[in-house]
Structures are given as C-alpha cells and as structure tokens.
Amino acid sequence: MNSFEKRRQEAQKKWDALQNSRVPVIYVGSATCGLAAGAAGVLKAVEQTLKRNRLKAKVVPVGCIGPCYLEPLMDITMPGEPRISYANVTPEKAQKIVESLLIEGKPLADLAVGHFGDNGSDLTTGIPKFFDMPMLKPQVRVVLRNAGYIDPDDIDHYLANDGYAGLVKAFKMGPEAVIEEIKEAGLRGRGGAGFPAFKKWEICRGAPGEQKYMVCNSSEGDPGAFMNRSLIESDPHSVLEGLLTAAFAIGASFGYIYINTDYRLAVARLRKAVTQMKEVGLLGKNILGSGFDFEIKIKEGAGAFVCGEETAQIACIEGRRGMPKARPPFPAISGIHGKPTIINNVETLGTIPNILRNGAAWYTQYGIEGNRGTKTFSLVGKVKRGGLIEVPLGVKLRTIIYDIGGGSWKKFKGVQTGGPSGGCLSEEHLDIPVEYESMNAAGSIMGSGGLIVMDEDTCAVDLALYFLRFTQKESCGKCSPCRVGTWHMVTILERIVSGQSQSGDLTKLQTLAETVQHASLCGLGQTAPNPVLTTLRYFRSEYLEHVNEKHCRAGVCKELIDYEIDPQKCNGCQLCVDVCPTDAISGAKAELHELDLSRCIRCKACYEVCRYNPLAGNAIVIKTRRSA
Amino acid sequence: MKEKEYEKLFSGFKGIEDDILAIFLRVQKKDGYISEEAIRRVSRFLKISENRLYGVATFYPKFRFTKPGRNTVKVCMGTACHVHGGQSLSDAVGWQLGISLGQTTDDGHFDFQRVTCLGCCTLAPVVQINDDIHDRVLVTGLKETLKQYE
C-alpha cells in the first residue's frame, strides 16, 4: 500500500472517531458570515463554559452550511445522538445550550433549528430535520457537499470524505479520458459566461509548448456575491483537487490561484491547505506515482473588478496594470508570459472532483438539457432567508426567491442576477428557468451567482445608477466606449435621479448603452449597460415618473424627497435629535422640533426612531412629489 | 520603515516583475500605506522605474498613498448593503467624522474608506472598523458604534 492510501486510512479512522466520539462534539460555523455575526465570541464562550464546568468535548470550527441569516450557527453532537443545530447563537445562548445539553441532557428544543439524524431519537423530539427546513429542502449539495460539515483546516477531514479520490481516478484514466468525462458531464464555466469547460481544456491540451499554466480564478469582484469565497473558506481542498485535475488534463505543471487579498480568511485557509497538500505528497514531482509534476502559487490581487476577466487577470499575475487585451489569441493558446493558460472559476474547479468521482452520468441527473449540474448562488438583499445556496440548473427563480428565500418582507419588486454585469428582472420573470440561455434571453446573465432581491423600497433607477457608478469606477480606461460611455451614462442617470433630466435623456441613455455594449473591448464594458437596459425595459414606468413627475415611488432618490415634522404629532421626545448624524434637527425637550432641510442627508434615521420607538410620536413624514 | 526592514522585506523575493503586487502588499501591511520612500526602494530593488511602479500601484484600489488614521472605518458598498441603505450610512459616517471619503481626521484618530464588498451580505448594512465587523448598522445606531473607538 502506498503512503497516500495509508494516510487516507488514518484520516478515515480519525473521522470515524469524531463521528462516534465518546465525548460531545461542538461545531461552530466559522466562515466569513459566521465570524462577522459573532462566531469568535461563541467559540470563546463555549470553551469557557466547558472549562468552568469541567466538561469534556471536542470543538470543531467548520465552514458555511448555507443559511447565513441564521449565523452564528452552533451544532452539538452528543455521543450516539444526531447532530443538533442552533441558530443566531450569542455567547450567553451558547453557554445556556452547552450547559443544558451536556450537563442535564436537555436539548432546549425551542432554541434548536434542526437535527441531522433520522427520526426516532428522544433527544431530537420536537426538533425538525435540518435539511427539511424550507430554505434547504429544494437544494442539492454537490459543490457544497462538505461545506459546514468538515473542518476546512484539516486535510484529513477532506480525505475521509472521498477527498482526492477524483484525482486518483483521473490519474488512472489519463488526460484525454478526463477531458472526455467533463465533456459528457456537460460542465459549463461557472464564472458567468458558461463556456463548455472541456472545450477550453482541449484547445490548451493541443496547444504547442512545454510550459503551460492552470489558474484558479477566485477574483469574485461582484459586490453582493460570496459563493466562491465561502466555498474556499469551507472546503478549500475541493477547489485544489479540481485545480490539480484540470492541470493534469491540460498538461500544466504550474498553477496559480488568483484571489483578492481582502479575502483574508479564504487566503489563510488556502495557504494552509497547500502546505498540507505538500505534506501528503499531492504537490511536487511525480505526484502519487503518476508522473505528473505540479506546483501552486497563491497570487493575491489588490482589488480591481476587471481582474476577473481572463486577460486582465493574466496582466495582474505578471505584475502589470490589470488591463484586458483583445482576443484572439485566447489565453488557452497564449496566456501567462505567452504560454498556454487555462483560467477556471472556483466553482467550476470545485465541481470537477465530484464529476470524476461519481462519473458524468451521475452528474447529468441534475439540471436540464444543455445546462447540466448545479449552481451556487448568494441570495441576499430584501429576502427573508438569505445565504449561500446550491440548486440544480433549470429551477425557477420563484423557487429560489420564495421557496428557498421565503420572499421579501415588503412587496417584491425584482431581482438583480449576475451582479453589475447582469440585469434586473421583474416579477414577470419569476417563472423562467435559471439557466444560461433563458437568463441571456431576458437581457440578464447567469453570472457567477449573485442574486440581489429588491422590494418596493428599492428604486430601480437608483439601483441602475449604483451598478453603473461601480462599473464606471472599475473601468480600466483602455477602450473609450467603456471609459467615456459609462461616464456619460452615469451623468444622465444622475440627472434623472436628481430631477434635472432633459428631454430625450431616456433615448440617449438607451442608445449610449447599446453602443457601450457593442463596442467595448472586454466583458466588463460589454455587460456594464445590462442593469440600465433591463431596468429601462422592465421598470420603464419608474424612469418616466422620475423624468416627468420628479417622483421616486420608493422614496430613495434624495433630491426627489423631502422630510417634514408633523407639528400635530411631534411630542418633543428628542430621540430624533440624538440620532441625526448631521445635527439637522433641533428642539428642546417637550417642545416642537425643527428640521433644517439644508443639513438633512435623508438618511431615514429620524424616521426610523420616530416611527418605531414607542416613546416617539411617529411625526416624521417622508414626502415624495406625488404626496406633496 | 527603516533600511534594514526593507532588506528583510525584499529578501523573500526574486526581484522579478511578477512580484510587484506581492511586494507592495507587504509594504502596505507593514506601513499601512505606500510611501514615496517605499516606491523608491522597490524601484531600486526591482530595477523598474518609479513611474512604472506608481502606475501599477495606483491601478489597484487596495493601495493607498496617504498615512492611515489610528482607526480605519470602512463602509461596505456592496449591493446588499446598498439596498439596505449603505449610501446613507456612508454619508452619515462622513458627517459624523467630519471628513470626506479617503481622508483622515486632523487628530489622526479616524480615517474613512469604502470597500466593494465584505462578503457577509446577509448581515447588511455592514461597517468594518479596524478588524471588527459591525453588522446591521443603522444610522440610528451609528453614533454608539463610533463611540466605542473614541
């Protein structure tokens, strides 16, 4: 038996020991979402509680299991019992749960959100199954299969869960058969464009040259998207296994992982994972006796949205300004330092081990013809149950937003798919299937997987301006349609939201958008007008209201709304005086307050306290032009 | 940074163009920003002109060229934060600190930045102060949040 198989067996033993642990095991979700919600405090509280009560338990930090709105999540497995999950855990709550379960054997069912076992355990009485939760039931976990289960910092956890089994199989199959398998699986690039993964590989494999490069694109510059980051934070080895497999298939001996330096946790987990790979012989010369050599370098990027584009990313890796190049030649022929290079997205790579391990036929059971497999999304915005989700391609938007996300609190308005490069779809699109072609036909894109839900309090014009400001700022400036075009589009949109629009602005905006779309050099410019074009198409009435009536129905566009204090209702409680960040409100206790509109930044803080604090009189009125 | 520290910093690199970003990231991690002095030193080490280096560094939003304050307030401008009122929050932070975006207060106590996305979108709107993430920050609670750092 070779040393790798030996290591796997040891890993299996270690994992089994954890699963059948004689002491309780406490899992804490410690990805970015969990940590931001306070997981570090929970971990500390758990450890203190254990110490104070002299309790024995194993504490395992895990990644993101998906329902980020429930973070921090803490799960506890008692010996011989199924894992029980607790949500929105605070340090106080953590102490209470640990003491109750570990000392008294009481699971506090009212605090639990789900259990991971089959029914029939006394301990789980009154607790539903975790994966029966409405958010999780319609989901399929392929790429995210380990996320939230395993300790991402421990390669043994990955090895024990069929880790690197796909790679071992790939070595036996040989590069051509690997490419054939991916072709049969119908895997399309998950970075956004949906180009068949095998085709790129085939071109690169056939390209002349000794030195080839394989790159993992973890740029993920879309604001509001965190799928790739979460996957790396939760299961870094799945991505690395995919990277190795792809490199083997195309014949690359060197790999880069391009990742934004601001994703500190993901970078740290990757670094650790790469070190562990070296230890078990998965990097270096003649890996697992296959004759395949491979080294990995982690390349930290310094921001810049455009660096998600292949040729710009190559420039960045080479230490230049991250500006794109005209194609052809495509990177598969001439990439990093002129050598054949394949750049695949994190999720594409994370999918590959699953395909190889289980076979293409298994993978094609998910999804629909032409759009096989699953896709991860970050579902956020005005939605009740936000988080990281994975669904088979072809499900309806309605399933994602309502069944999984639980809809909006207020009236649903639309959903932005694909980030700044995507489009804003309205209620009429809720029944279109989520797959590459349907999304394009609707004027949006699948993108890498950001889904931002909007409700009636979101202004469609303001959102279009938000995205355009972003792309305008991120435009690298190389080609003028993008550099100048987006700037002019921002100017027109700024006129519209401030009530200064001139006649013909909407026509001008439309023409300009189409020009930028057709004439720009790279994907950034070509897709930048999508938010404007789709909102013009599906939310035209809102544009017309802004232009003709200077009215913003959502009450968002600051120049089109005014605030007023209703003298009949104001009880002089001074709450608004305290919260106003610009000191625009003045007035003595129990006297009528006054609002200085010239200082007011329309931040809604006064409105919120006046409306929701029981001591206040609900006296602040937001006036749109129609209500005035 | 002192002469010795630069030497130490450079020692891990081969001195090729590919390392520009990695070197600047290390410099910024140490100094908090990229000083003119740092550009000169890196230029001599890599044998690449200062102009060229400055051109590369200014392309990337991560790099800053002014000394940061003792506390850095970063308002997240991600889409989820935007639909939850991130713009108002950013305006309010500027007013509260009395500075514009990218500036540092006169006493050097705070500086005010924006970030594209902090990646914890379900907690929007989010503000990061130093290493702490403050979730669901409403303008109503902003004064309290900032007070913790005074």
Q: Identify the closest residue of chain B to A478 by CA–CA distance.
A: B59
Q: Do A386 and B121 touch (CB under 8 A)?
A: yes
To the nearest whole Å, the CA of A437 is away from the closest chain B CA by: 24
Percent of chain A at pLDDT > 70 equals 100
- Alpha-carbon distance of A96 to A100, in angstroms, equals 6
Q: Compare CB distances from A224 to B61, B117, B135 and report the shortest one's residue.
A: B117
- Alpha-carbon distance of A306 to A230, in angstroms, equals 21
To the nearest whole Å, the CA of B4 is away from the closest chain A CA by: 25
Q: Compare CB distances from A224 to B80, B133, B138 and report the shortest one's residue.
A: B80
3-state secondary structure A236-277: HHHHHHHHHHHHHHHCCCEEEEEEECCCHHHHHHHHHHHHHH
Please name the residue that has the structure tokens 């979730």: B135
Q: Which of A226, A421, A451, A467 to mutate to test the interface with B (most CBs of B within 10 A)?
A: A226
Q: Compare CB distances from A380 to B63, B80, B95 and report the shortest one's residue.
A: B80
Give one word for A387, left, alpha or beta, with left for phi > 0 and alpha for psi -120 to 50: left
What pLDDT, in 10s, does the model give residues A490-533?
999 999 999 999 889 999 999 999 999 999 999 999 999 999 99
pLDDT at A1: 58
For residue B63, what are the CA distances in angstroms to A221, A223, A439, B42, B118? Answer: 16, 19, 36, 15, 17
- Alpha-carbon distance of B103 to B109, in angstroms, equals 11
CB-based contact, B91 to chain A, within 8 Å? yes
Q: Quick one: how far is CA A619 from the chain centroid?
A: 39
Residues A522, A528, A529, A533, CA torsion sign: positive
Q: Compare CB distances from B22 to A300, A467, A579 and report the shortest one's residue.
A: A300
pLDDT at A119: 73
Q: Do B116 and A452 touch (CB under 8 A)?
A: no
Q: Identify the closest residue of chain B to A323 by CA–CA distance.
A: B59
Q: Identify the closest residue of chain B to A468 by CA–CA distance.
A: B79
What pLDDT, in 10s, does the model give residues A253-265?
999 999 999 999 9
pLDDT at A125: 85
- Alpha-carbon distance of A260 to A266, in angstroms, equals 9
Q: Do A582 and B92 touch (CB under 8 A)?
A: yes
Confidence of residue B31 (pLDDT cuts 50, 70, 90): very high
Given a cut of 80, is residue A465 above it in pLDDT? yes
CB contacts, 8 Å: A302 with chain B: 21, 24-25, 60-63
What pLDDT, in 10s, does the model give residues A54-100?
999 999 999 999 999 999 999 999 999 999 999 999 999 999 999 99
Are the beta carbons of A186 and A306 closer than 8 angstroms?
A: no
CB contacts, 8 Å: B140 with chain A: 579, 605, 608-609
- Alpha-carbon distance of A202 to A176, in angstroms, equals 8
Q: Which residues contact A224 (CB under 8 A, 6 or more apart)?
A: A378, A380, A381, A416, A419, A450, A452, B78, B79, B80, B117, B121
Q: Which residues contact B52 (CB under 8 A, 6 or more apart)?
A: none
What pLDDT, in 10s, does the model give residues A237-255?
999 999 999 999 999 999 9
pLDDT at A520: 97
pLDDT at A118: 83
Q: Identify the closest residue of chain A to B141 by CA–CA distance.
A: A579
- Alpha-carbon distance of A195 to A331, in angstroms, equals 14
pLDDT at A502: 87
ipTM for the assembly? 0.95
CB contacts, 8 Å: B16 with chain A: 319
Q: Compare CB distances from B139 to A68, A226, A579 and report the shortest one's residue.
A: A579
pLDDT at A403: 97
- Which domains occur in chain B, in start order? 3-59 (no CATH), 71-147 (3.40.30.10)
The mean pLDDT of chain A is: 95
- Alpha-carbon distance of A36 to A31, in angstroms, equals 8
CB contacts, 8 Å: B118 with chain A: 32, 36
Given a cut of 70, is residue A126 above it in pLDDT? yes
- Alpha-carbon distance of A305 to A221, in angstroms, equals 5
- Alpha-carbon distance of B104 to B111, in angstroms, equals 4
CB-based contact, B68 to chain A, within 8 Å? no
Given a cut of 80, is residue A323 above it in pLDDT? yes
φ, ψ (nearest 5 deg) of residue B102: 90, -10
CB contacts, 8 Å: A450 with chain B: 79
CB contacts, 8 Å: B143 with chain A: 578-579, 581
pLDDT at A628: 60
Q: Do B16 and A319 touch (CB under 8 A)?
A: yes
Lowest mean pLDDT among A118-127, A311-320, A557-566, B17-26: A118-127
CB-based contact, B120 to chain A, within 8 Å? yes
Q: Do A321 and B85 touch (CB under 8 A)?
A: no
What pLDDT, in 10s, does the model give residues A194-210?
999 999 999 999 999 99
Q: Do B139 and A609 touch (CB under 8 A)?
A: no
Q: How many contacts (CB atoms, under 8 Å) link A and B?
A: 168
- CB crowding A113-127: b at 16 or more within 10 Å, else e: bbbebeeebebbeeb
**Cα dihedral: A14, A32, B56, A490 (round 10):** 150
User: What is the DSSP secondary structure assignment for residue A290, as one 8-state letter?
Assistant: S
The mean pLDDT of chain B is: 94
What pLDDT, in 10s, does the model give residues A250-306?
999 999 999 999 999 999 999 999 999 999 999 999 999 999 999 999 999 999 999
Q: Identify the closest residue of chain B to A418 by CA–CA distance.
A: B79
> Residue A447 is encoded by which pair of tokens?
């993108």
CB contacts, 8 Å: B86 with chain A: none
Q: Identify the closest residue of chain B to A337 by CA–CA distance.
A: B18
Q: Identify the closest residue of chain A to B89 by CA–CA distance.
A: A603
What pLDDT, in 10s, does the model give residues A98-108?
999 999 999 99
CB-based contact, B130 to chain A, within 8 Å? no
Q: Do A69 and B17 touch (CB under 8 A)?
A: no
To the nearest whole Å, the CA of B49 is away from the closest chain A CA by: 13
What pLDDT, in 10s, does the model give residues A348-381?
999 999 999 999 999 999 999 999 999 999 999 9
Alpha helices in B12-49 (DSSP H): 20-31, 36-46
Alpha helices in A102-235 (DSSP H): 155-160, 165-173, 175-185, 197-206, 227-234
- Alpha-carbon distance of B114 to B100, in angstroms, equals 11
pLDDT at A497: 97
Mean pLDDT of A542-546: 96
- Residues 9-38, chain B, touching A (beta carbon < 8 A): 16-22, 24-25
CB contacts, 8 Å: B139 with chain A: 579, 581, 603-605, 608
- Which domains occur in chain A, in start order? 15-132 (3.40.30.10), 164-363 (3.40.50.11540), 368-455 (3.10.20.600), 460-549 (1.20.1440.230), 558-624 (3.30.70.20)
Given a cut of 80, is residue A389 above it in pLDDT? yes
Residue A469's H or E segment, with its range, is: helix A460-474
Q: Do A223 and B77 touch (CB under 8 A)?
A: yes
What pLDDT, in 10s, does the model give residues B79-133?
999 999 999 999 999 999 999 998 999 999 999 999 999 989 999 999 999 989 9
